[in-house]
Amino acid sequence: MRVEIWSDIACPWCYVGKARFEKALDAFPHRDGVEVVHRSFELDPGRAKGDIQAVIPMLTEKYGMSEAQAQAGEENLGTLAAAEGLAYRAQGRDTGNTFDMHRLLHLAKERGRQDELMQAFYEANFTEERSVFGDDERLVELAAGAGLGEDEVRKVLADPAAYADDVRADEREAAELGANGVPFFVLDRKYGVSGAQPAEVFTQALEQAWASHSPLKLIQQDDAEACGPDGCAVPQQH
Amino acid sequence: MRVEIWSDIACPWCYVGKARFEKALDAFPHRDGVEVVHRSFELDPGRAKGDIQAVIPMLTEKYGMSEAQAQAGEENLGTLAAAEGLAYRAQGRDTGNTFDMHRLLHLAKERGRQDELMQAFYEANFTEERSVFGDDERLVELAAGAGLGEDEVRKVLADPAAYADDVRADEREAAELGANGVPFFVLDRKYGVSGAQPAEVFTQALEQAWASHSPLKLIQQDDAEACGPDGCAVPQQH
């Protein structure tokens, strides 16, 4: 069974939602039969690469909150994160363009290190003072910590086209699946869970998707004209 | 809707089956809503990279056919291929390890040129005298013809680890889906078609999969705690 998670590194609910989902997944009896894939979604795709801003002014400017509302929201997120055992830096975070991080997550997927890198990005963004924005070497360091080769990471960062199509394709798919916010969880392309739901909701979704996970229905007419490890079917004239 | 096709470049039924599938796909009213992905499957994964052999002796040695049987099979494949409008070189073909070609097909997938490269490999292998085996420059030429950059193709060929995990992952998935031969077509992970079935069977499969293609069922309890283009939900204490 496959669970795809659309999310953005800059999305606090994605950080919290991942922990809630993993709580359910770790307790799921068929855990070994579940593959998790992270998919790209940018909350603010129009933000230029160098445009880095503190979170509180961003919230007040972009969403019209008062500074007190914005700060209270961050504090509440910190409390909710703590309930999941997560650290959360409610003061002084910044935000910026996440496209390069999404490109690196696609590289990491090919290397089998995607979940490690996603978690490293979240922890760096939500718990550490040093910014993840505007500093390629910071991303190299995080990616290396997640098990990627520094050289290949630098190569991807230096080539803006690398994995760009993969990021765009994920975002197109999110739209096609009806996701207009993140985190968005899709189980076997059949069930969807929107938002950082409680772990019990993820448990229910996993159980439901597992129960309805059915083998392929084979559609065919003739004996298969196919090749296998023991050779190819001998052609018959139709 | 997504159709995944597991196949091997060295598999004549895959070459013929692709044409039959495309005949059905081209006439399918929802053609624009169908994404096609090629997946890797090696018929002879144990064959060493440099081990190139003429097809007729391979068939007699490996599958215990007489030379006359093997040659008649090739001639019949030529006739069936011709019925699909395909050229087929029934005499003098060779075979070898296809792993590198599968790795390049994964690179091509990232560049949006996968189908072009698959078709170029098939045509080179089944219709041209010059071998596709044992000559990296031949692969560079074919990949460039399909729209890839020569440099990136050479880089992938020079690094045996590049896209190797993707090839292995495809092969594992084929086994999990119950495919023990190719071509193997999977529609939305719900319907399977094994072998080079007649175009009508593919039409039926496309229609059935399209009709049962359903939107995601959303499972949730709370209002979504999520971030979207208009900001993040304000945290409530649970």
Residue B18 within a domain: yes
Decide if pLDDT at B31 tops 80.
Answer: yes
Q: Give Cα A156 to chain centroid, integer Å.
A: 19
Q: Quick check: B93 pLDDT over 60?
A: yes
Residue with tokens 């085996």: B133
Within-domain flag for B153: yes
Residue A153 lies in a domain: yes
Tell me what pLDDT residue A78 has.
Answer: 96
A68-82, B162-176, B217-231: least confident range: B217-231
CA distance B85 to B59: 25
Distance separating alpha carbons of residues B236 and B138, to the nearest angstrom: 62
- Please report the ipTM that was assigned to this predicted complex: 0.80
Task: Say yes or no: B35 contacts chain A, CB-CB below 8 A.
Answer: no
Mean pLDDT across chain B, nearest whole number?
Answer: 93
Cα–Cα separations (whole angstroms), residue A233 to A224, B7, B76: 8, 15, 11
Asked if pLDDT for residue B236 goes beyond 70, the answer is no
Residue A237's pLDDT is: 54
User: In sequence order, what are the residues at sequence separation of 6 or more whose Cβ sits closer than 8 angstroms to the Cβ of residue A145?
Assistant: A120
Which residue, B237, B211, B220, B233, is CA-closest to B29? B211
Q: With cut-offs at 50, 70 and 90, classify the pLDDT of residue B237.
A: low
Residue A60 lies in a domain: no
Q: What is the pLDDT of residues A29-56, one digit of tens each?
A: 999 889 999 999 999 999 999 999 999 9
Report the domain count for chain A.
1
A160 within a domain of the structure (yes/no): yes
Q: What's the pLDDT score for residue B145?
A: 98
Question: Would residue A114 count as lying in a domain?
Answer: yes
B127 touches chain A (CB under 8 A): no
Question: What is the distance between the alpha carbons of residues A76 and A19, in angstroms, rounded to a whole number?
Answer: 16
Range of the domain at A143: 2-52+96-213
Between B136 and B234, name the one with better pLDDT. B136
DSSP designation for B147: T
Distances (CA, A) of B62 to A39, B13, B99: 44, 18, 20
Model pTM greater than 0.80? no
What CATH number does the domain containing B36 carry? 3.40.30.10
Helices (H), chain B: 12-27, 55-63, 67-83, 99-110, 114-127, 136-145, 150-158, 164-176, 199-211
DSSP letter string, B170-198 = HHHHHHHTT--SBSEEEETTTEEEESS--
Q: Which residue of A has its CA nearest to B233?
A: A13
Of B165, B189, B218, the CB nearest to A194: B218
- Please check whether residue B205 lies inside any domain of the structure: yes
Average pLDDT rounded to a whole number, residues A201-211: 95
Nearest CA to A155 out of B190, B74, B156, B185 is that of: B156
Higher pLDDT, A230 or B49: B49
| Mean pLDDT within A189-210 | 94
Q: Do B192 and A236 touch (CB under 8 A)?
A: no
